[in-house]
Amino acid sequence: MEWRDELYRLLKRLAEAPGPSGREESVRNIVVELLESHVDKLWIDTWGNVIGVKRGGSGGGRVMVAAHMDEIGFFISHIEDDGFLRVIPIGGVVERSLLYQRVVIRSRNGRLIRGVVGLKPPHIAKPEELQKVPELRELFVDIGVSSREEAEKLGVRVGDIAVFDRDVVELAGTRVSGKAFDDRVGVLALVKAAELTRDPKIDVYFVATVQEEVGLKGARTSAFAISPDAALAVDVTIASDVPGVAKSEWYTRLGKGPAIKVADGRGASGLIVHPKIFDLLVSLAEKHNIPYQVEVIPGGTTDASIIALNKEGVPAGTISIPARYIHSPVEVVDLSDIYNTARLLKAFAEEVTPEWLREVKGTFVK
């Protein structure tokens, strides 16, 4: 497993960088550094998406592979007279994961200021208050000061961003834990796939998108600019191999390979994967002896659902990396799943042909 240490080192860099939706600069700088030597052209667009293209043969055609850089987080919304901070969420913050967590604030001048999420002591709480998950409005961030003036002297201002403050750490075997694996693991697989891909037959666009957690916005704008003939999103999915979940309810499991998606979400908010995309991914996994799972999930979605609706429509699919405790500070993934996702992306990038793209885009009947 010569890839293990490299993936751990790179994931640590990517995941520990603060980058909530709309403030992805720290992550973007790392992605540019990692991607630039593996693509023929690289640029940052108006919204801050990182787009790298690897040119293919002369037969034409383009595919887009997307993974989002942003994580959930907070905006500082108010500074109390006694120096405590109030926050509002960026993206799908789960309130029961917040209490007594460490956070790091990035001020507008780039300074990092650490704090903790607090709540009034349980000793003086009413019995009914102890039985429920506290709402965000009841919580506050303590940065160790005693006044608004002290907070402002440190550089904290309303509108600054905050994220969970957690290092990436090794667990047993190839499993690791940390914050923002949604979707820095997908970004890592995308970068590694760009490195591994040799002589694609079509143009392959590797895109690290912004603002997925607040409405798939970076994927929408980058897909419009690229106008791909087919697309994949790389994101995390629920690993339900934990106590309290019946085996019949398992969606995916850690260490069993990337999950090739059939469908996600509910109604208009999700994606039914194009069957030819699904069939190709399965055949590539089997051809190259890449372990894989099949995913049908009733909630959530990915960048693929908005890319699929670009212009006249784009055949789209998703490759998912199983993760436990998504949207928490202690997400858990298996590095082998990241590695095998990169292998599957490489196979897709190298083996899609202009002829296959013309076939998958539709057929003239008359």
List, by residue number, the catalytic residues: 212
Q: 352: part of which helix (H) or strand (E)?
A: none
**Cross-strand partners of 238:** 323
Pairing of strands 175-178, 331-334: antiparallel
Residue 216: name the closest of 323, 307, 155 by CA.
Answer: 307
- Whether 281 contacts 297, CB under 8 Å: no
CA distance 110 to 5: 30
CA distance 270 to 264: 5
Residue 60 DSSP class: -
> Is there a cis peptide before residue 40, judged by omega within 30 degrees of 0?
no
Locus of tokens 């995913």: 295
Q: Is 329 helix (H, G, I), strand (E, B) or coil?
A: coil
CA distance 13 to 323: 18
- Whether 264 contacts 300, CB under 8 Å: yes
One-letter identity of residue 361: K
C-alpha dihedral over 29, 31, 32, 36, to 10 degrees?
A: 160
Locus of tokens 């959530």: 300
Q: How far is CA 232 from the centre of its chain?
A: 13
CA distance 22 to 357: 33
Q: How many CA atoms lie within 13 A of 116 on its CB side?
A: 8
